[in-house]
Amino acid sequence: MHSSNDAAQQPSLTHADLFSFPPTQRNGLLDSPTTKAKRSTDQSHNLRASFEKLQASLDKAFPEQARAI
């Protein structure tokens, strides 16, 4: 006998969801959203820049929670 959890985990075959099709471009795979001129060849620099952008966006989105920490 199957439980209700088993039924809930079955994928729906009646419609496509957002993850049904991989993102593609007309000329091949998606390229980086960051232009080549803005990216450093030093990966640690790229990660640091991404982390700082994330922190800045979190501070703007949740200013009262960010101040409480």
Maximal C-alpha separation, the chain: 59
SS3 13: coil
Whether the pLDDT of residue 60 is over 70: the answer is yes
Whole-prediction pTM: 0.34
| pLDDT, tens digit, 9 for 90 and up, residues 32-52 | 666 666 777 888 888 998 899
Whether the pLDDT of residue 8 is over 80: the answer is no
**Domain chopping of the chain, boundaries:** 42-69
pLDDT given at position 55: 86
- CA gap 38, 32 in Å, rounded: 11
pLDDT given at position 59: 72
- CA gap 27, 30 in Å, rounded: 9
